[in-house]
Structures are given as C-alpha cells and as structure tokens.
Chain A
Amino acid sequence: MNRAGIVLVLALVALLALALAGTAAVYAAGHASLVATARVNALRARLAAEAAARAGAARWNDSLRALAPGQSVAVGDARIRRLSPGLFLATAEARDHGAVARAGFLVRVLELRESLVLFPAAVAGASVRIGAGATADAGAAAAAPPGWDDTRCPPGLADTLAAVFGAVGLPGAEAPSALALDVAGRADGEPPTAVAPALADTLPGLGPLSWGRLASLADRVEGGSVRIGPVLDGVACATGAAGNWGDPTHPAAPCADHFPLVVAPGDLQLLGGAGQGVLVVEGDLVVSGDTRFDGAVLAAGDVILRDSATVHGAVRSAGTITLDDEAEVDYSACALARVLLEAPALDRPFRPRGRWRVPVF
C-alpha cells in the first residue's frame, strides 16, 4: 500500500522560513558591522590627519617667516601656508582603509611689529621723571648697542620703524600728558619728548600675549635681588645657571646669542652685571649699580633706574619711570628686534585665541 503525506512538505517549508529569517538577521548584522567599521576607519583617518598637521606645526622654523601670504611649503606630512603676517595654516590629509580625512589648524607667531609698537620711545610710561644727570636717548633709534656690530642687527630696521611708528625718529620720553613728564636731565629724540594719551590705558601684556601667558612661557623666573652675568659650562653657555641672562658685551662669546624671556611675578631689583633679553616685571623694577641690560623692559608697576644703570633697547611701564643719578636708556631697535624675535619662549608657534581648529575640505 502506498500512502502519500504532506509532513515532509511542511517540514521543508518550516526550514525554509527559518533559513530566510536567519539570513535576514545575518545580513542586517553584517551591514551594521560594516557601518561601524567604516566609522572607526573615518575616526582613525581624522586622528591621523590631525596628528600630522600638529606635528607639522611643531616643526616650526624661522624659514617659514619668509613665506609670502598665500605661499605654502611642505613640512613633514603637513603643509604650512602663510595666511597673513602673523598667521599660518597647517593642514594634512590621511587615509585609513579607504576613509579620507583632512585637518587644519591655525598657527600664530609673534610678529615684530605687533610687539615693537609697545615701545614708542626710549622710556614710555604713565609718568616719566628724568633726574639731572640721567638720559633718555632715542636719537639713533635704529643703531646697534655698544659692542654689537651691524651684522647682529636684523635687516630693514629703519623700514620697520617707519612702518610701525610712521617715522624713523622717535622721542626720548613719552607720557599720557605733558604734566606727566618731568625732565630735569636729558631727553634726546625726534621730538625729545612726546605726549600720547593712550599710554594711560592698561598695559595688557606683550602684543597678543597676556601677563599670565608670558609667565607660563618664561625661559627664566626671577624675583628679589639679582646680580646678572653670563655663566659658562665648559665652552658652552650654561643657560640654566642662576643670573645668566646672556652676554651683551662679547659678541663672540658662547652666551652672546642667549636672549631669555625673563619674568618676575613680583618686584625685582638688578644689582649689577650685564644681561639681555625680554624682561617682564609684574611688580616694580629697580635697576641699580653698573647694570647693563640690552633688550625690552616691560613693567606693570614702577621702574627706577639709578646709579650708572644702562638699558639699550626700551622701557615701557604702566606706572612711573624714574631715571636718577647717571642712569641711561638708549633706544635701540636693533636690540629690541633681536630679543623679541630670538627669545626662545617667543620664537615659537602659538595657538591663536578663539578659533584654532578650522574645517578644511
């Protein structure tokens, strides 16, 4: 007897339904896995691009300052493009398993003009007193300090002074009003003294760098009373040694090209010796004895120069500047330019304020 049935057919249909459902689930899960993998690859590519762009910016060198606006050059895996005098764009592209990402970061450098503008005279402050016997001289504003030859001066200083101040000649002393100027000694310049009401405004720092930012960048932090002078470690300059602020008097010495950014969080007194660089004092500054300092002096408080203290560069204060005895300040754009461009803490790329990461497509 031969009997036909439908159980086999039913079993086959059930198996087919189960197989279809399982296949759909495997497909959906596989698709989701591909999407997640693509997301991971895209993230890896973006991180690699950002790392390459930041590495390019970290390999900053002075030759990049020679780029004209719009020009670019490859630095490692990144490309550095000059956007404006003090602003650069570092970009890079990276790939990971087919994902492509591009990253861009803005890089800021300190331009000489934006820091030089803070020093419009040999001495400039909320009030200036030059005692009999003391001197504030801007008569040879573009000249090199004594003991420097012209090869130590950046080129085009006269043009830079003209571009920043509208003239090559600068005043010996400048204050917000004529009443704030008390000159019993000598003030030389073109003109000898000048009035600038803006000097009464708060001094925010050095160009785009605030006082706090300068303190965090300092090559050296000083306080109290200090005697300065070059210190050698064998034949090399011991830049970390106490009181070593470079050597302005011996151009061929190992410390001749050491221009530190020195920050005093409070009051500071220089007792004697020689040094150079950018001196930032958040309190009061007293320069006494036979101290010679070549460079920029920026003080939030009062500044007193006495005895035979000498500054070749310029002094700017938010308080009162007093020159007594035979103290002397000689304006030197050469000294200012060298220290502002070559202080290790300032000759580096910075993050700009506000936007730093920019979209590049």
Chain B
Amino acid sequence: MTRPGFSLLETMIALVIAAVACGIVAVLLTAELRLTALRADRLARAEALRVAMVVLGGELRNDAAGDVRLGAGGALELRAFRGSALVCGAVGSETLVRYDGLRQPDPSKDSVLVAGSADGPIALEWTAPAAGGCGAGEGELLRWRLATQPRLGALLLLFERGSYVLQDSALRYGRGGAGRQPLMAPWLDDGGSTLRLLDATGADAGADPDDATVAAAVVAPRPRPGEPAPAPLRVRVPLSGAVPGGAP
C-alpha cells in the first residue's frame, strides 16, 4: 500500500511561511521585551529619585542651620528627628513626657533638644513607660531621665545623629559612625550627584555654617550605555528657621 506525502515544493513553501511567521513573532517579542526592560528601568530610576526627594525633603525640612553640616566625602551630617515629647510633669529626678514619634526612644543613640531654647542637646539617659495621665494615649506616657531636667510644658525634640551620602550609586544613611545602608536601588551617578548647604544668596554656606538656609541636592541618574544622560533631579529644602526675604 502506498501513502501520499508532501511534495518537496509544498514542504518548502510551508517552511518559508513558518519562518516568516516565526520571524515576525520573534521581532515582536524582542521589541516587547526590550520595551518592558526600558520601562522597568525608567520606573526604577523614577522610584530612586522619588526616594531621594522624599527622604531628604522630609528629613531636612525639620532641621535648622545648627543641625546640619557637610562632613567628609560630601556626606550631610545631621540631627535626624525621630520623635517629639511634651513635658507634663516630674517625679523626683525623672521627667514625665507625652511622647509620639517614628519609633520608641533609645538612650543608646538618642538625645533631645528643647524647642525654642538656644541650649545644646541633652542626653537621654533612661526611658520607661509610665502609668496613664497627662491626657496621653495608650503607650504615649513615658518617664525619662535627662542630664538636665526641662521645665513643665517644654517641647522636647528627640533625635539621633546620622548622615546621608550619595555613594556607590545610591543614597545611603548611616547612624553615628556606623556603616551607611542604601535607601534605594543603585541607580545614581556618583559623579553627577551632590549634597550642599547654601546661604540666603545661594552660595555655598561652608562646611559648618551657622547661616545655612537651604539644603540642596542634585541627584543624577546613571545613564544607560549609548543613551544621553537624563536630566538630574534638583531638590532644594529650606531649613527650619530660614526667613524668606527677612520677613518678621
């Protein structure tokens, strides 16, 4: 018994059509995958810039001129405020405060400033929960032992010493002298990114200024090979206490 099969011509035509179809599909898939990668890349860059803007803006706007300075390697050393407390009483040498913040106070790394006072920081020696009172909510009332006991009604600003730096393609934060951890994916151009402190005229305020009014950051994304460098993000944060135009 004989079985009919494809002729050579039919096979060749089928192969050509299949090749063309596969080629078209391959081109479409490749383009789609490249577009997806490009889109993901841009989203990651936008996220990195947004993190830089949000973190630096949120952190620096509460700092006054005496709270920030430029350290070694272009790092911005600052008092990072993590909580605020109202003094509502005293028990012997302990101060009763109504506290709220981003985290619980930690005497190993935290100090306090008295808002409105020209005095320097006060070391937080000890903290413990207190029973209810002072109109405080659940967990808000604390007993603190401070190196100097503040007066009733004072507003205490709890802070830790930290530093921000644009290094190894990412914005990094480190507390005290500890290593700095990245806050974003490594998308930054180290050479094109800077952190600066400016005075009221827009000039650099120096490494340890008392007249700094603005913290400025230029955050430049790393360009992709073969592409022009994208526009950097310029962030200017007026420091607390900056008076525009000298208005009372």
Report A's interface with B, CB cutoff 8 A: 1, 7, 10-11, 14, 17-18, 21-22, 24-25, 28-29, 32, 35-36, 39, 68-71, 81-84, 87, 89, 104, 106, 108, 213, 216-217, 350-361
Whether B241 and A361, one on each chain, are in contact in the complex, defined by CB atoms closer than 8 angstroms, is no
Whether B62 and A10, one on each chain, are in contact in the complex, defined by CB atoms closer than 8 angstroms, is no
With A14-B29, A25-B39 as given contacts, are A359 and B81 in contact (CB-CB < 8 Å)? yes
List, sorted by A's number, 26 A–B pairs whose CB atoms are closer than 8 Å. A10-B18, A10-B25, A11-B25, A18-B28, A18-B29, A18-B32, A21-B33, A35-B50, A36-B50, A70-B87, A81-B86, A83-B115, A83-B116, A83-B155, A84-B151, A87-B116, A89-B115, A216-B248, A350-B248, A355-B115, A355-B116, A355-B240, A356-B243, A357-B61, A357-B240, A359-B62
Q: How far is the CA of A219 from the CA of B157 in the complex (A)?
A: 36
Whether A217 and B248, one on each chain, are in contact in the complex, defined by CB atoms closer than 8 angstroms, is yes
Q: A32-B47, A39-B50, A71-B153 are in contact. List 7 more A-B contacts (CB 8 A).
A: A10-B22, A18-B32, A21-B36, A28-B39, A36-B50, A39-B54, A358-B240
The 10 closest A-B CB pairs, nearest first, are A69-B153, A70-B153, A357-B240, A14-B25, A359-B62, A355-B64, A87-B116, A361-B100, A21-B32, A359-B81
Q: How far is the CA of A18 from the CA of B241 in the complex (A)?
A: 55
With A32-B47, A84-B151, A359-B84 as given contacts, are A352 and B116 in contact (CB-CB < 8 Å)? yes
Mask, B97-126, CB within 8 Å of A = 1, is 000111000000000000110100000000
Residues of B within 8 A of A361 (CB): 83-84, 100-102
Residues of A within 8 A of B32 (CB): 18, 21-22
Report B's interface with A, CB cutoff 8 A: 4, 18, 21-22, 25, 28-29, 32-33, 35-36, 39-40, 43, 46-47, 50, 54, 61-62, 64-66, 81, 83-84, 86-88, 100-102, 115-116, 118, 151-155, 157, 240-241, 243, 246, 248
Q: Which of B50, B102, B240 has the most chain A CB atoms inside 10 A of its CB? A: B240
A-B contact count (CB 8 A): 114
- Chain B residue nearest to A31 (CB atoms) is B43
Whether A358 and B84, one on each chain, are in contact in the complex, defined by CB atoms closer than 8 angstroms, is yes
Whether B61 and A216, one on each chain, are in contact in the complex, defined by CB atoms closer than 8 angstroms, is no
Q: How far is the CA of A213 from the CA of B36 in the complex (A)?
A: 59
- Chain B residue nearest to A22 (CB atoms) is B32
* Contact of B86 (CB < 8 Å), options: A28, A70, A108, A357: A70
Q: How far is the CA of A39 from the CA of B118 in the complex (A)?
A: 35
Q: How far is the CA of A81 from the CA of B116 in the complex (A)?
A: 13
Instruction: Report the minimum CB–CB distance from B186 to chain A (whole Å).
Output: 19
Instruction: Report the minimum CB–CB distance from A66 to chain B (whole Å).
Output: 14
Residues of B within 8 A of A352 (CB): 116
Whether A84 and B100, one on each chain, are in contact in the complex, defined by CB atoms closer than 8 angstroms, is no
Residues of A within 8 A of B240 (CB): 355-358
Whether B248 and A84, one on each chain, are in contact in the complex, defined by CB atoms closer than 8 angstroms, is no
Instruction: Report the minimum CB–CB distance from A71 to chain B (whole Å).
Output: 8
Q: How far is the CA of A358 from the CA of B159 in the complex (A)?
A: 12
- Chain A residue nearest to B87 (CB atoms) is A70
Q: Which of A35, A213, A357 has the most chain B CB atoms inside 10 A of its CB? A: A357
* Contact of A69 (CB < 8 Å), options: B50, B62, B151: B151
